[in-house]
Each structure stands twice: as C-alpha cells, then as structure tokens.
C-alpha cells in the first residue's frame, strides 16, 4: 500500500509533468520551438481576430514569467519626489488639457508640473533583438547585441523615471530555432530576397512577428508595445500611402511595433526614449494600434479630427529642440544624439494617460 508521502511525491511528479507539457507546447500540434512561418493578415482580419478574442467568455490565462524574461528592474520605480521640468508649450494651447498646468508665454518655454502629479506605470513594453553584432566589410562594428539593446532600454527607463513614469520592460524569450527563423525572415525582407518562397517586406515581417508573438505568447487581449532591434533597412513605410518613407527608427501606425535599426542607432543616445514618446501617444487596443486619423467611436473618439488633434501631441516631432520628442537628426544615416537633459512635453505626458498607455500607480 502506497504511503502518504509516496502518494504526495507521485502527485507532485504528475503535476510537474503536466506543467512541462504546457510549457513546451502552445497547442496540441505545435511545439513552442517550432519554426517561424509568415502570417499574412489584412487589416480586416486583424480586427476580426481582436474582436473574436475580446468576445471570449474565458481566456487562457498564462503567467508572463513562463514566456518572458524580465531583463530590467527599475529598483523601486520613479523617485517619490520627482519634480520634472516640462516643455511648456507645443503647437497651441488647445491641443492639450492644461489640468492645473499653466503654459509659458514664451514659445518652447519650461515650467514645473502641477502639485498633484502622481507616479505612473506604463503598458508592458516587450523587446526582441533580430540582429547580431558583427563587423562590416570595412571592419566597423555594426548590428545589435543583446547588451547594447538592453542599454538602450535602460536609457529610456532612467529618463522616464525622472518624469514619474515606471516603464514595465521585458525581453521576449523565444526558442532558439524560432528566433533564427525570425531573424532570417527579417534579413530576407531587408535584403529584398524571398523567405520560404514568398516575397516579403520589412512591414509584412513586422506584422507577422507581432501577430505570432501575441497569439503564442501573450494569449489575451491587452495593450502593449513591441520593440524590434533590426539590421539597417531602406524605405520602410510605417503607415498608409500618405505616410513618409524612412530608413531610421519608427513606429508603425497600424500595429504596436517600433523598429530600431543599426546602423545607425546602436550609436544613438535615447533613441528608444524618443520612440516610446511616439508609441505611448498611439491609440492602442489589444494587439493593434488604430491607424492615424481613423474614426474610432468605441474608444470615445467620435471623429477623425478629434483623434488628429489629440495625437498631434505625440505623433508629430516635437517643435522645440530640447524636447525629447524632437529627434533632432540631421539626416537618416546619422545617429540621433539626445541628452538626458532634454525635456518631456506636457501635451505628450497628458496624451499617454488620455490613451490609457500610462496610469497612476
């Protein structure tokens, strides 16, 4: 007859086996280290996918620790007595809510925050390195290492902490086989080659990566931002046909993805800090961002014009040279040089909360 201790040991072994199975498979047929394949989604399919998940009565609950590695600890968060200095004026005063904050009468003036400013926490920010550090033909080091990418994340954490905002940062932990395929897909897109027999673009690979990481790892609707560190690319369109074409870091309008390429941005300072200002200003819903000027009445924005006015606080580059939201980049082949002393724009700070991408702690 089995003793109580033996029975408990057997039961514990059984549950450990179940846990092991749950961690090594995302479904009955697909192990977590399976290869990466492209998923092609239309905007309508992305929205239908989101709507279906939002309507589920029971969502599969997954602890983030099973899939995400916490790579940065803020160490107690923002200083309790943080009293940051803001850029006091952006475009004009009716584009942001003053909320006891009095703009300077001088263009690009500076001012102190209201007395009731409270600490805030951001939506989750996940990052993934799709590049490798190496030497180019001339012997110059290019590309990202995890350590350099992590340093860029740490720059952002420190700067936002001075503005009473704790960044919730995690590195995506992807199985080696899948990570190799993801890197191969992005490299093929950057170099203009097919991947798995299909024509790909940086935009399509980024969309597919976001979709699969969301579906396989997060597994439930939530707001977040995904930062992808990549090799240098050319002519990426981050939005619709009327959007500009870039070869530097940028935010996609339709998905919550930020690309940071190298060259030139491993030599940039506060590049992630700057891009997060744009990212936090986006209207995020689950895995998707609502496109610029899109009519989104379900979010309490009844007209495209209203969204346009709200989002100009963060979507356009800052108008002041010492605004962290102003890239100040002389050309697209040069690193961005933004010192830690550059300021937060008050309109941007308000926009983060208005869109629900930061919240008081």
Question: For each of the chain's 361 residues, which pLDDT tens digit applies?
Answer: 545 445 444 444 444 443 343 333 333 344 444 566 677 777 777 666 655 544 442 233 333 334 455 555 444 455 566 778 888 766 555 555 555 566 566 677 888 877 777 888 999 999 999 999 999 999 999 999 999 999 999 999 999 998 989 999 988 888 788 889 999 999 999 999 999 999 999 999 999 988 877 776 666 667 899 999 999 999 999 987 767 788 899 999 888 999 999 999 999 999 999 999 999 988 887 778 865 545 455 555 545 555 555 566 787 788 788 999 999 887 888 999 999 999 998 888 888 888 889 988 8
d(Cα 40, Cα 57) in Å, to the nearest integer? 27
Residue 25 near residue 67 (C-beta atoms within 8 A): no
Q: Scan for tokens 């599969």, then name that residue.
A: 60
pTM of the model: 0.78
How many degrees, rounded to 5, is the angle at CA 84 between CA 82 and CA 89? 155
51: burial class by Cβ within 10 Å (0-12, 13-18, 19+)? Answer: exposed
What residues does each domain of the chain span?
11-360
d(Cα 359, Cα 347) in Å, to the nearest integer? 16
d(Cα 71, Cα 133) in Å, to the nearest integer? 19
């Amino acid at each position: 007859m089995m003793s109580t201790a033996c029975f408990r040991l057997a039961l514990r072994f059984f549950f450990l086996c179940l846990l092991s199975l749950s961690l090594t498979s995302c479904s009955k047929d697909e192990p977590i280290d399976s290869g990466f394949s492209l998923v092609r989604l239309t905007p309508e399919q992305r929205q239908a996918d989101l709507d279906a998940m939002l309507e589920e009565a029971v969502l599969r609950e997954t602890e983030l620790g099973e899939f995400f590695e916490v790579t940065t600890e803020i160490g107690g968060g923002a200083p309790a007595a943080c009293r940051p200095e803001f850029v006091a004026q952006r475009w004009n005063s009716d584009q942001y809510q003053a909320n006891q904050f009095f703009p300077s009468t001088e263009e690009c003036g500076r001012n102190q925050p209201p007395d009731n400013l409270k600490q805030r926490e951001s939506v989750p920010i996940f990052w993934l390195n799709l590049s490798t550090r190496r030497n180019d033909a001339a012997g110059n080091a290019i590309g990202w290492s995890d350590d350099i990418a992590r340093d860029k994340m740490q720059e952002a954490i420190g700067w936002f902490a001075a503005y009473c905002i704790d960044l919730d940062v995690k590195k995506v932990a992807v199985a080696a086989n899948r990570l190799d395929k993801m890197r191969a897909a992005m490299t093929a897109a950057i170099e203009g080659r097919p991947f798995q027999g299909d024509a790909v673009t940086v935009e399509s690979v980024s969309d597919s990566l976001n979709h699969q990481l969301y579906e396989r790892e997060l597994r439930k609707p939530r707001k977040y931002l995904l930062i992808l560190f990549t090799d240098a690319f050319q002519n990426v369109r981050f939005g619709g046909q009327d959007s500009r074409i870039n070869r530097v870091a940028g935010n996609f309008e339709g998905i919550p993805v930020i690309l940071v390429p190298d060259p030139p941005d491993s030599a940039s300072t506060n590049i992630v800090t700057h891009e997060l200002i744009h990212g936090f200003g986006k209207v995020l819903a689950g895995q998707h961002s609502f496109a610029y000027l899109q009519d989104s009445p379900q979010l309490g924005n009844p007209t495209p014009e209203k969204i346009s006015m709200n989002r100009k606080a963060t979507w356009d580059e800052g108008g002041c040279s010492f605004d962290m939201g102003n890239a100040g980049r002389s050309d697209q082949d040069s690193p961005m040089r933004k010192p830690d002393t550059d300021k937060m724009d008050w309109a941007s700070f308000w926009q983060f909360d208005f869109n629900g991408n930061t919240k008081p702690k």
